Homo-oligomer: A and B are copies of this chain.
Amino acid sequence: MAQEQIHRHNVGTLLRHVHLGGSMSRAELAERMGLNRSTIMALTAELSAAGLVREEPPTGSFGSAGRPSLVVRVRPNWAYVLAFDVAVDRLVAARVGLGGAVLDRREAVRARAGADLDHVVEVLARFGRQLHEAAPADSVCVGIGASYCGMIRPGDGMVRFGPDMGWVDQAFGAELSRRLGLGIPVPVGNEAHLGALAEQHRGAGVGLQNLLYLHGDVGVGGGIIVGGKLLDGDGGYGCELGHMVVNPYNGRPCGCGSHGCLEAEVGERALLDAAGRPAETWGRDALRAVVDDADRGDETAREALRRIGDWLGIGVANLINLFNPGMVIFGGMLRDVYPGAAPQVRHRIATNVLPVARERVRLRTSALGDDSTLVGAAELGFADLMADPLATLAGTKASA
Kindly report which residue of chain B lies nearest to residue A318, judged by CB atoms: B244
Contact B357–A322 (Cβ < 8 Å): no
Q: A237: shortest Cβ distance to chain B, in Å?
A: 4
Does A88 interact with chain B (Cβ within 8 Å)? no
Q: Which of A151, A160, A226, A232 has the most CB of B within 10 A?
A: A226
Which B residues are in CB contact (< 8 Å) with A222?
322
How far is it, in angstroms, between the C-alpha of A258 and the C-alpha of B353 when the chains are bound? 9
* B237–A354 CB distance below 8 A: yes
Interface presence of A397 (CB below 8 A): no
Residue of B nearest to A353 (CB): B243
Residues of B within 8 A of A352 (CB): 243, 245, 256, 258, 261
Within 8 A of B (CB), among A236-291: 236-241, 243-249, 256-258, 261
In the assembled complex, the Cα of A83 lies from the Cα of B56 at a distance in Å of 57
- Interchain CB contact (< 8 A) of A238 among B34, B160, B235, B322: B322
Q: Are A235 and B356 within 8 A (Cβ)? A: yes
CB-CB contacts below 8 Å: A201-252 with B: 208-210, 222, 224, 226-227, 229, 231-241, 243-249
| Contact status B356-A243, CB under 8 Å | no
Q: Interface code A76-93, partner B: CB below 8 Å = 1, 0 otherwise?
A: 000000000000000000
Question: A138: which B residues are within 8 A, CB to CB?
Answer: none
Partner of A322, one of B224, B246, B261: B224
* Distance between A5 CB and nearest chain B CB, rounded to angstroms: 9
**Beyond A233-B323, A234-B325, A256-B354, 18 extra complex contacts between A and B, CB < 8 Å:** A1-B9, A1-B34, A161-B354, A161-B355, A222-B322, A227-B231, A234-B360, A234-B361, A235-B359, A235-B360, A243-B318, A245-B246, A245-B314, A245-B352, A249-B249, A256-B352, A258-B352, A322-B322
